[in-house]
């Protein structure tokens, strides 16, 4: 005798199968067409509306064929392989577009035995409001991506590197040669010499100029976040991590250039991973066991002496030798005094343009004063000094006295000897004394004196002529 619960179980099972059958039939009738495939993604059946929609005369002509043979853009194979439905999609068929839905078919054990696809609409315009909204969102997304791509492009080229000295011309020559290679580039130079500007120029002249330029300062990132910043992370990779995955700098720089500033400050454990990326172009995001492959050209820079860092055990030798393929050393500003004048002019023009005003003009005594300073902060300090002096200037010219307040260290050596002597005469007098002392110490050798004064030989000859010492 069958129990009451068993009878209910049988009845419930029959009702379920009947509901599924009726629901499928109604769904098929409401749709423009339906098709089914087996576990090998071969066509098992197709209803008449879909057959007519595809322009097929007889069903027997297509049963058993791979679904892509009849519907090239079909994604039913993906549904069979993944077991996941594609609830709403727009499928291209020739010059037409169908709005379709795809569902997997499972057996009692939960295994995928096939898939079924339905054509909800044979004309996309029936979903015009939804499609319009989707297109608007897509346009907004594309616009944001374009803006981001512009932000990640190099903004400067070699024309932005100002200077006429032999030293800066040699830097440009080496950098242009480095731009034609895919090897890593190591830029050496003191803080403020313009290493990132040079890195951008290398990228802009290289074959990767259409790709992103991503800059990151290794010393500016907290040590516990450096790895996540470089390689990204998966959701929940560490305490405080976002619930969404985040791409790291290497992924963002894919097919472009990654500029890694102050690489000498990088933690030793991260140096190992950086070396692997350089060698294999592969890394693993934080918290992930899957490798990500990228195509990145590295340009590194540092103000540290990496050879001393290696001797102290703070920088890996294998990483140094991998980076030290193409090396460009940017000289400090004190070693290319001839560039102070064109640099000052360019910086004043940029400042004036940003402020919406006419550029100020440097007087001769002001220029002589700037050229006599050692500039420990290099071009960055020169920019700062010029901007500060410009703010305090009420006229159209920047004279030497405007800079004496900005650079107090310049005041003592250049104060006039007597009240009636002008500042320009005092500067010239002091310059004569310095040059005479250098020539005397060099035994009259002008090349040796020029090196001691940290100016070019041509600059020394020019000053000798102007000061009447030739």
DSSP secondary structure letters along 186-211: EEE--TTS-HHHHHHHHHHHSTTTTS
Q: Residue 63: pLDDT above 70?
A: yes
pLDDT in tens, 289-310: 888 899 999 999 999 999 999 9
Token pair of 407 as six digits: 């650079």
Dihedral angle, C-alpha 170, 171, 173, 175, nearest 10 ° = 160
What is the bridge-based pairing of β-strands 257-261 and 43-46? unpaired
Q: Residue 193: pLDDT above 70?
A: yes
pLDDT in tens, 211-232: 999 999 888 887 778 888 888 8
pLDDT in tens, 8-30: 444 556 665 666 666 666 766 77
Q: Using an 8 Å Cβ cutoff, are 214 and 257 in contact?
A: yes
Lowest mean pLDDT among 125-129, 358-362, 386-390: 125-129
Domains parsed from the chain with CATH numbers:
19-127 (3.30.450.20), 158-331 (3.40.50.300), 336-415 (1.10.8.60), 418-470 (1.10.10)
Q: Residue 261: pLDDT above 50?
A: yes
Q: Residue 37: pLDDT above 70?
A: yes
What distance in Å separates the CA atoms of residue 336 and residue 334, rounded to the nearest whole number?
6
Cα–Cα–Cα angle for 219, 222, 225, rounded to 5 degrees: 120
Which pTM was predicted? 0.59
In a 3-state reduction of DSSP, which class is residue 164? Answer: coil
Give the distance between the most distant pair of CA atoms in the chain: 130
Query: Where does the pLDDT of residue 114 fall: very low under 50, low under 70, confident under 90, or very high at 90 and above?
Result: very high
What distance in Å separates the CA atoms of residue 149 and residue 140, rounded to the nearest whole number?
14
Residue 347 CB-half CA count within 13 A: 20
Q: Which H/E stretch holds residue 38? A: strand 33-38
Query: Where does the pLDDT of residue 1 fall: very low under 50, low under 70, confident under 90, or very high at 90 and above?
Result: very low
In a 3-state reduction of DSSP, which class is residue 347? Answer: helix
């Amino acid at each position: 005798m069958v129990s009451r619960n068993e009878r209910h179980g049988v009845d419930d099972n029959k009702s379920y199968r009947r509901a599924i059958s009726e629901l499928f039939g109604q769904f098929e009738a409401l749709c423009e067409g339906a098709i089914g495939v087996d576990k090998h993604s071969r066509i098992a059946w197709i209803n008449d509306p879909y057959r007519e929609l595809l322009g097929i005369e007889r069903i027997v002509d297509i049963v058993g064929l791979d679904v892509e043979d009849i519907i090239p853009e079909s994604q039913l194979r993906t549904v069979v392989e993944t077991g996941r439905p594609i609830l709403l999609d727009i499928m291209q068929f020739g010059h037409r577009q169908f709005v379709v839905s795809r569902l997997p078919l499972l057996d009692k054990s939960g295994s995928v035995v096939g898939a079924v696809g339905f054509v909800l609409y044979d004309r996309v315009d029936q979903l015009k409001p939804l499609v319009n909204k989707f297109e608007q969102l897509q346009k907004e997304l594309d616009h944001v991506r374009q803006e981001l791509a512009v932000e990640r492009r190099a903004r400067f080229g070699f024309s932005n590197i100002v200077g006429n000295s032999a030293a800066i011309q040699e830097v440009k020559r080496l950098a242009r040669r480095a731009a034609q290679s895919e090897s890593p580039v190591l830029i050496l130079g003191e803080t403020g010499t313009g290493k990132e500007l040079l890195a951008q120029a290398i990228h802009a002249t290289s074959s990767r100029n259409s790709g992103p330029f991503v800059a990151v300062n290794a010393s500016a990132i907290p040590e516990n976040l450096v790895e996540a910043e470089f390689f990204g992370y998966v959701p929940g990779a560490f305490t405080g991590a976002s619930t969404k995955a985040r791409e790291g700098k290497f992924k963002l720089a894919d097919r472009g250039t990654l500029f890694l500033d102050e690489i000498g400050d990088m933690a030793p454990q991260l140096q190992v991973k950086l070396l692997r990326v350089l060698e294999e172009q592969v890394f693993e995001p934080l918290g992930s066991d899957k490798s990500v492959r990228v195509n990145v050209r590295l340009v590194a820079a540092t103000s540290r002496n990496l050879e001393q860092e290696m001797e102290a055990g703070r920088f890996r030798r294998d990483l140094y030798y991998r980076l030290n393929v193409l090396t460009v050393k940017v000289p400090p500003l004190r070693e290319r005094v001839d560039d102070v004048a064109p640099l000052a002019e360019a910086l004043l023009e940029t400042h004036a343009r940003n402020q919406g005003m006419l550029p100020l003009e440097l007087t001769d005594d002001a220029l002589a004063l700037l050229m006599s300073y050692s500039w420990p902060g290099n071009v960055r300090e020169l920019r700062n000094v010029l901007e500060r002096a410009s703010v305090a200037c009420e006229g159209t010219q920047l004279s030497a006295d405007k800079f004496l307040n900005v650079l107090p260290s310049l005041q003592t050596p250049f104060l006039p000897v007597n009240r009636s002597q002008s500042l320009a005469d005092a500067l010239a007098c002091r310059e004569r004394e310095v040059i005479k002392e250098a020539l005397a110490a060099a035994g009259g050798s002008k090349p040796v004196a020029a090196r001691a004064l940290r100016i070019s030989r041509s600059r020394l000859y020019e000053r000798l002529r102007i000061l009447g010492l030739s």
